[in-house]
């Protein structure tokens, strides 16, 4: 059964909640900090609890773009390579740029604590999808805890801007019977930093 906004809130508002920090309703604008173009409010890519899911934000603490400067001939998930270079927020706001036909890794601002009878599946947001941005996140398995590493592809022939501390993907939560095995794998308890492939 897919969880609705009331059920998601119930799991998030208890001690050791499912999502921290939890925003109980969808946010699509925030108060302006005096930026002249938006004297009262600034539009943002929405985040927070929605009808049947939760829109996760992208943290500004760690964002890495695939580096074409490295001398690798192949990317091998079994070999730890330094394939990415860290990017800082741009001088004109909380955003970073992904080059054409490139790939980036970010991390969620929110920390998740998935209950033993819940499975989370992530999907992209339509605002980015309509700009050729593909967001890929593997399932949030029962018992998994930590900050999500978020995989972002730019399918465009042009660079694309990604906004930090705004919505990047939506998580849908499903309730089932508690499985016999909970997640205790190599990606458990991830901090608010990008985690590259592990074997």
Catalytic residues: 151
> Which two tokens mark 195?
């985690």
3-class SS of residue 34 = coil
Enumerate the β-bridge partners of residue 54. Answer: 49, 171
Enumerate the β-bridge partners of residue 134. Answer: 153
State the Cα–Cα distance between residues 63 and 58, nearest whole angstrom. Answer: 9
E strand or H helix at 50: strand 41-50
3-class SS of residue 119 = strand
């Amino acid at each position: 059964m897919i969880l609705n906004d009331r059920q998601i809130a119930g799991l998030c508002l208890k001690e050791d909640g499912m999502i921290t920090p939890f925003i109980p309703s969808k946010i699509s604008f925030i108060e302006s900090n005096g930026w002249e173009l938006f004297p009262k409010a600034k539009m943002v890519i929405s985040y927070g609890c929605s009808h049947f899911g939760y829109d996760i934000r992208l943290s500004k603490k760690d964002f890495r773009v695939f580096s074409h400067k490295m001398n690798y001939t192949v990317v091998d998930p079994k070999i730890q390579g330094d394939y990415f270079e860290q990017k800082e927020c741009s001088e004109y706001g909380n955003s970073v740029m992904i080059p054409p036909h490139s790939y980036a890794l970010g991390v969620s601002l929110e920390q998740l604590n998935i209950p033993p009878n819940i499975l989370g599946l992530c999907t992209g947001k339509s605002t980015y999808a309509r700009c050729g941005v593909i967001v890929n996140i593997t399932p949030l398995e029962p018992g998994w805890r930590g900050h999500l590493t978020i995989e972002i592809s730019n399918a465009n022939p042009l660079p694309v801007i990604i906004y930090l501390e705004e919505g990047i993907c939506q998580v849908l939560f499903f309730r089932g019977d508690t499985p016999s095995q909970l997640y205790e794998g190599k990606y458990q308890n991830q901090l608010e930093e990008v985690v590259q492939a592990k074997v």
